[in-house]
Every structure is written in C-alpha cells, then in structure tokens.
Amino acid sequence: MKKTQAPLLVTKHLKTSFKINDHYYQALDDVNLTVNPGEFLAIVGESGCGKSTFANTIMGLLDEHDSKVSGSAVFEGQELTKLTETGYDEIRGLKLSMIFQDPLSALNPLKRIANQIDEVMAYHTDLSKTERYQRVLKLLAEVGIHDPKRTARQFPHQLSGGMRQRVMIAMAVACKPDLIIADEPTTALDVTIQAQILDLLRRVQQENHTSIILITHDLGVVAETADRVAVMYAGQIVESGSVQQIFKEPQHPYTRSLLRSIPQIDNATDDLYVIQGNVPSLQKMPATGDRFAPRIPWIPASAHEDLPVMHDLGDGHQVRCTCYRQFYFKEDQRA
Ligand SMILES: Nc1ncnc2c1ncn2[C@@H]1O[C@H](COP(=O)(O)OP(=O)(O)OP(=O)(O)O)[C@@H](O)[C@H]1O
C-alpha cells in the first residue's frame, strides 16, 4: 500500500559545482528528476558523469567549503538544499539512507557489527537496548546472514565483501527509510554476489515500499532491477524513461552506446563495442552544444542543438538534444 501519492523526491534545476584552484566548475547541471514512493530508479553513466555528486548532494555529504549547490531538491516536502547539518541529522538514517560502494571504508573497523547497526536505531528510535538487539538479529537474518548472532559479534574485517554489503543494507533499512540511495553497491563484488545483492535491494523495495535510487556505471545490471532509468552524461541527464523504453527504444546516442557496450552472452564472438574518448573533465566541459558530440564526430554538427534541451517523447520518456533523430553508429553505416 502506498504511503503517499505525492512524489517523494523532486529535483529541479539542481546544480552542484566544485571549487578547483579558486574557480567553481559545474559537476551537476540542471538535473530534474522525480522519484515516486516505492519506485526503483537507476542512474546510469560512465565514471565521472556526476552520479556520486548527485547522491552526495541529496544526502548533504558535500564539503560546503569547496562546493556550491543551487536549484531545488524537495524530499517529503523539505527543501534539502537549505537544510542545516542538524536538520540532516534528523533525517539521515531515519528517512534517507545511503549504501556505499566500499562497505569496508564505510563501516567502522573498530566496532562490532551489532553496535554499528544499533547506533542508528539508538539515535532515531525509542526502542530499548534489548529490543534493538533483537531487531539487529532480525535485520541480519532478513538480509541473508545465516548466523546473525555470530555476525553481530564480529568486526567488519572478519566478513566477506558480500556479507559486509549485506550489513550495510541492514544498517540502511534499520529504521525503514523512505528513500535509499545505493551508490555502486555491487561494483566491488563478483557476479554471483552482485546478483544476490541486487535481488536483496529489490526485495527491500517491495517489502518495505522503500524508494531506491541505484547508481551504477553498468547498464547491464539495471534491466532486471529498476523501474525507471535516468542516463547521465557529463553532469546532465541525457535520457530518462521506463526500463522498457530505455532498453527497447533507446534514443540518445549515449544511451545507445552504453547498451551496445554490454557484453552479450549469445554474441560471444563479436568484439565488444567501446565508446571512444572520455567524459570531459569539469574544467574542459563545453559551455554549449551536446556534450557527447565530440565522441560521435561522424554525426554532423547540424544534428545537434546549440543549447540542448529535453524533448518529451510521451509516456514519461525524455531525451536531450535533437541529434537522436539522426544518430547512427559509424560501423553500421560502413557495413
Ligand atoms: N570534491 C570534488 N572536487 C572537485 N571535483 C570533483 C569533486 N568530486 C567530484 N569531482 C568531479 O566531478 C565530476 C563528477 O564526479 P562523480 O564522482 O560525481 O562522478 P561519478 O559518475 O560518480 O563517477 P565515479 O563512479 O567514478 O565516482 C568528475 O569530473 C570528478 O572529477
């Protein structure tokens, strides 16, 4: 059952800049995203596209001395960009949680697992110590830890990578938050464990009706997991839509290139498609034009907009720039 029909998180014209050598450079540019209650949104893009910056902006984890945020991010009616540190303390862990890529550095190496999960409940709930311990064991069992009592006594270094990530998920869901941001939660894990962790996140979303934003560079992991996908390139959302739209009718050349780069099991003899070039650094970000254009030089300049905007394709499918209308792969054209 839905807790509320209103969107959970709405960002409008959200921009984040970082100070480098006394100048501010934009890492997030005009990000407009909506996350509905109980929805699983994936944000996908190569390394350096701004995905973690988005997560850190929403979670209030940026260093205010070297970053600037403008625009709006409203979470459950609260404007996050104006929230003080004390305000964030009230909602982080309770309404808004984060799962990091590297649980070993996110967990405290000197504290037993039980104490780390207990902390968030001690801060946000009125449960007694005994009740909290019972909940720690229940949470550990729910995230697939076979011997919760034993794991509760252990330190992070005594656990495998997959178990540590399960513990992080137990911590993140301890107070049943409304939104969890998982930043590359499976990147450091092998493929089998990766699938288990994604299944677990999906289960958390369905059982607790929690919204999840999954941040990943791997479009391949998204198809089975997410409801909607936002593709990010060089600090901008270049395409967004349902999983079906993104996988069956991808429009932006960047989305199509990412899809083509996914290894296909039934296509083992074909060479893997590699997107040529790199994501521009913040200092080299072009002020105008399609930011992906330099990586598809065979597409005529006239196909791109000078100041690309989002185009509505219907049913919630959006794409930036008109170049998608004339996009083709150079290799296909030669064939
Ligand atoms: N504190 C910072 N100061 C300066 N530049 C930063 C800072 N944090 C991130 N950046 C730059 O902002 C851009 C976006 O980085 P971000 O980490 O958000 O990308 P990402 O898509 O999450 O990639 P990755 O998966 O590698 O973290 C990059 O060019 C990065 O170098």
| 142-178 tens-digit pLDDT | 989 999 999 999 999 999 989 999 999 999 999 999 9
Tokens matching residue 17: 């800049």
User: Which of these ranges, 7-21, 179-193, 224-238, has the smallest mean pLDDT?
Assistant: 179-193
CA distance 244 to 44: 15
| Among protein residues, the one whose CA lies closest to atom 7 of ligand 1 | 18
Smallest CA-to-CA distance from 275 within 92, 58, 49, 70 is with 49
Could you give the residue range(s) of every CATH 3.40.50.300 domain in the chain?
Answer: 9-95+177-334
Tell which one of 52, 67, 218 to mutate to probe ligand 1, the residue whose CB is within 8 A of the most ligand atoms: 52
The pTM of this model reads 0.94
First to last CA, the chain: 52
CA distance 221 to 235: 21
Tens digit of pLDDT for each residue in 204-246? 999 999 999 999 999 988 998 999 999 999 999 999 999 999 9
Task: Quote ipTM for the complex.
Answer: 0.97
Q: Tokens 């964030």 sit at which residue?
A: 88
Ligand 1 centroid distance, CA of 328 (Å): 30
Q: Is the CB–ligand 1 distance for residue 49 below 6 Å?
A: yes
What was the pLDDT predicted at 330?
87
Ligand 1 centroid distance, CA of 146 (Å): 37
Where does 128-252 have alpha helices with state H? 129-142, 148-153, 161-173, 191-208, 243-248
Query: What CATH code is assigned to 9-95+177-334?
Result: 3.40.50.300
| Among protein residues, the one whose CA lies closest to atom 24 of ligand 1 | 47
Beta strand residue intervals within the chain, DSSP E? 9-20, 23-35, 40-44, 67-75, 78-79, 96-99, 179-183, 211-216, 228-233, 236-242, 310-314, 317-320
CA distance 310 to 294: 19
pLDDT at 3 over 80: no
At 118, the pLDDT band (50, 70, 90 cuts) reads very high
Q: Is the CB–ligand 1 distance for residue 16 below 6 Å?
A: no
What was the pLDDT predicted at 265?
66
Give backbone dihedrals phi and psi of 239, rounded to 5 degrees, phi first: -160, 145
CA distance 211 to 95: 10
pLDDT at 335 over 80: no
